[in-house]
Structure 1
Amino acid sequence: MEKRTVNPWKWQEERSYSQAVEVKNVESTLYCSGQAAIDPDGISSDKDMKSQLEQAIANLEEVISSAGYECGNIVRLNIYTTSTEELWPHFPILQEWIARHKLQQAVTMLEVKGLFETLKVELEATAVK
């Protein structure tokens, strides 16, 4: 697999993403459903944003590794949240996770009116190998 990021500016680097990611010679692609703070028994979290973000990240890692992929090969990450204002103070948690896996991914973050049940944040990813 060959991966190339396209960043005509520098400012996105502070926000831990790339403007575009091109991949060539891909063996396979994994499209992950949105992962949120739902426990192994299927119970949605009613905890705070920080706890839900940490669980969503852990669940995304679990799905990707269970499929035989690596988090470092995520090329697209969509973030859905019921409150960007509530999420923003915890954004460094996501940035540290991105740095740890050396991700170079395109990102879209959207504030939505609601998510399933009591959920506050959901992460949707595309990974390649």
Structure 2
Amino acid sequence: MKRTAVNPWAWSLNFGYNQAEIVEGTQRHLVCAGQTAVDAEGNPQHPGDMRSQIALALDNLEAVLGAASMSLANVIRLQIYTTDVDEAMKHFDILGSRFGPLEVAPPMTLLGVTRLAIPPLLFEIEATAAD
């Protein structure tokens, strides 16, 4: 898979994402459902703790990707939903620590919502991946 960043403006790079990417030479696409801070039985974890919820949501995303023989390096698009945009952005270094070493900056959208499907949850991340 070949990825070519498209950034007519550089400001998004400060937030860890490209404005767009041209993705060529893929064979498989994986569309992941929103991953949240739940345990293996679907029980919400870390109520009120945005940082821990982001970390666990990313762990769960990595588990889904791994089950498809992929990793965060294969992610070509992120959609993020949070009940508190300001609080989530304070902890975006977690995303940087996971995606940065892989040298990928998938295009993303961050949306503030009034609530997620399960009320104690504060953060949900959807991904599209390809290889």
Do Structure 1 and Structure 2 share a fold, with TM-score over 0.5? yes
Q: How does 1:1-129 map to 2 (within 5 A)?
A: 1-45=1-45, 46-117=47-118, 118-129=120-131
- What does the per-residue CA deviation read over 1:29-63, in whole Å, with 9 as the maximum and x for residues that have no partner? 00000100010121012241111011001000010
CA gap of 1:87–1:104, structure 2 versus 1, over 3 A, is closer
Could you say if the C-alpha distance between residues 85 and 104 of structure 1 is closer, same or farther in structure 2, counting changes exceeding 3 Å?
closer
Between the two proteins, the alignment pairs up a number of residues equal to 129
CA distance in 1 between partners of 2:25 and 2:90 (Å): 38
- For 1:91 and 1:14, the matched residues in 2 are separated by 11
Give the Cα–Cα distance (whole angstroms) in 2 for the partners of residues 104 and 121 of structure 1.
19
Q: Does structure 2 retain, via aligned residues, the 8 Å contact 1:21–1:104?
A: no
Cα distance in 1 for partners of 2:71, 2:64 equals 10
Q: Which secondary structure state, in structure 2, belongs to the residue aligned with residue 33 of structure 1?
A: strand
| TM-score scaled by length of structure 1 | 0.94
CA distance in 2, matches of 1:56, 1:101: 18
Distance 1:47 1:41, change over 3 A: farther
Q: Which amino acid aligns with 2:88?
A: L
Q: How big is the shift at 1:104?
A: 2.6
Moved over 3 A (4+): none
- What's the offset of the Cα at 1:96? 1.5
Gaps of 5+ in 1: none
User: Deviation of residue 80 (structure 1)?
Assistant: 0.5
Q: Report the RMSD for the aligned CA atoms in angstroms.
A: 1.1
Identity %: 38
Q: Contact conserved, 1:53 with 1:121, CA < 8 A, in 2?
A: yes
Structure 2 distance, partners of 1:11, 1:68, is 33
